Amino acid sequence: MLCKLSYKNELRPGLFNFIIDCPEIAAKAKPGQFIHALCGGSAYLRRPISICDAVDNRFVRFIFEVRGKGTAELSKAEPGQMLDILGPLGNGFDVSAPESADGDILLIGGGIGIFPLLMLAKRLPKKPAVMLGFRDKENAVMIREFSNVAETVYVASDDGSIGCKGFVTDMLKSKIASGAKISRIYTCGPVPMMRIVTDIAKENGIDCQISMEERMGCGIGACVTCTCAMTDGSKKRVCKDGPVFSGAEVDFDG
């Protein structure tokens, strides 16, 4: 469908924040779902982009990084322009209350994987604790926005230029070692980070939901381009069966 671009800004060089006026998508969108955006005409395949937020059953916010010709073309769109968008697509996060209500709900995001976690934080039954990992201070974004909707926000960076020096997974290990109770973990980010988070969750008996990212063709499950391996030996489509899965069911070695 055609949706009007209402607002655009650049959060940092090459990272674009778009808000589109699209009630049909906004009213149905759930945390963890994505849109499939046409980038500058038929010369480019659509690009899957996580939904960052949906506001007033009217506006949909998404943030993307320029990584190739398609996203570079999309970044040239200006407010008032109509964008060809499919969505909302995929299965999102389960926001129902976890079985154990006495532990923290923890959101762990790395790099550009933090964006779908904002809408999730707003729609959970109680305010979560949030851990955000970045390469450095220059790449750190949206910390204040998460602070407005989270109980606590922890920040880590690879070089120590903002927050704690190290990886966001180190903060998770420290939190568990301190005796903190965690009832559920939601995570999105680089696969190596999510793999470690999933392993830690398994070791400690914590329910964990992860948002996978794969190259997509159709975005609706027909082309089977975006399959990922499951621990039971099967293959599932990230676009149709995911992008959110239980961490325990994903085979990171598959």
CB atoms inside a 10 Å sphere around CB 69: 12
DSSP state, residue 93: -
Tell me how far apart the alpha carbons of residues 142 and 123 are, in angstroms, rounded to a whole number: 17
pLDDT along the chain (254 residues), means of 10: 97 97 97 93 80 97 94 96 96 86 91 97 95 97 97 97 96 95 96 96 96 79 84 93 95 87
Q: Which pLDDT score is estimated for 44?
A: 67
Q: Which pLDDT score is estimated for 215?
A: 72
Burial class (CB in 10 A: 0-12, 13-18, 19+), 148: exposed
Tell me how far apart the alpha carbons of residues 14 and 201 are, in angstroms, rounded to a whole number: 33
**The token pair that represents 68 in the structure block:** 């190739």
Q: Where are the domains of the chain?
A: 2-89, 104-249
CA dihedral 171, 174, 180, 183 (to 10 degrees): 50
Q: Which pLDDT score is estimated for 43?
A: 58
Query: 2-89 and 104-249: same fold?
Result: no
The CATH number that domain 104-249 falls under is 3.40.50.80
Sign of CA dihedral 143, 111, 64, 92: negative
Identify the CATH class of 2-89.
Answer: mainly beta
Q: Which pLDDT score is estimated for 11?
A: 96
Q: Do the beta carbons of residue 98 and residue 106 sit within 8 Å?
A: no
By DSSP bridging, strand 104-110 and strand 129-134 are: parallel
